[in-house]
Amino acid sequence: MDYDGVGRTVRNGLNFTERGFGVRAALGCSDRGHTAVSSLKPREIDWETIFGKEGARWFHTGGIFCALSETTPEVAIEAMECARKHGVVVSYDLNYRDSLWRSFGGKKRAQEVNRRIAPYVDVMLGNEEDFSATLGYEVPGTNDHLSALDPEAFKRMIGKVVNDFPFKVVATTLRKATTATRNDWGAVCYYEGNFHQAKNRENLEIFDRVGGGDSFASGLIYGFLAGKDAQWAVECGAAHGALAMTTPGDTTMATLDEVLHVMKSAGARIVR
């Protein structure tokens, strides 16, 4: 069968996901070619106004954006340089997607781009595959299918990572996919020399797993922006990610009250 061109060079930007069920794994297809954001070039966005005048406190981007074209990594670096100049926190989700990098130099190019970006990052997010594929770090103890991650193995890898890059925070979700619809779910966060681990939710029922990682990131970021400590932030991220996977699509539908409810380990009894 000929390659159908799915990736960053063709058609219009969409994301397709087959949710999977039981032993049938979820299947994602990132079809991002010709999106407006992929055509962005440096000096097209007034970062000085955003960070210097309007008072933005946090800038977040990631590996999917930087895989869209030759110019998007340059836009990300331009934004990060300006953000750091104004004391704005920079976070980055490594988010490796093979189908996006395939026509852009593959893993070798992904590592070149991401290792160039990493020195600008304060808060680095990613799972074991992300750190391996995009930064070249091996996580000891993971199996060939990346179906489970030992928190202790991740901690050992982080010890190496923070010696190479000036990250203030490194965080990841901990997922063991027993089936497509039942996962163990947790998270761990490195901050100021200490590790903070969220409650592990065994046999979490999954409706649509897409968006769990992004929702973890936004919950973690919310915690830090709200002035909470690292343990609260990682618990917030893990709870928000769990909730996001109970609804269809990759955009969270959870409210702050719902996240706080789950953080308190409250049950699923109906709220009237």
What's the pLDDT tens digit per position in 236-263? 999 999 999 988 887 888 999 999 999 9
Pairing of strands 182-191, 194-197: antiparallel
List, for residues 190-221, the tens digit of each pLDDT value. Answer: 999 999 999 999 999 988 888 889 999 999 99
Mean residue pLDDT across the chain: 87
What pLDDT was estimated at residue 99?
Answer: 83
List, for residues 100-129, the tens digit of each pLDDT value. Answer: 888 788 999 999 999 999 999 999 999 888
What pLDDT was estimated at residue 107?
Answer: 92
264 CB burial (10 A radius; 0-12, 13-18, 19+): exposed
What pLDDT was estimated at residue 111?
Answer: 95
pLDDT range class, residue 79, cuts 50, 70, 90? very high
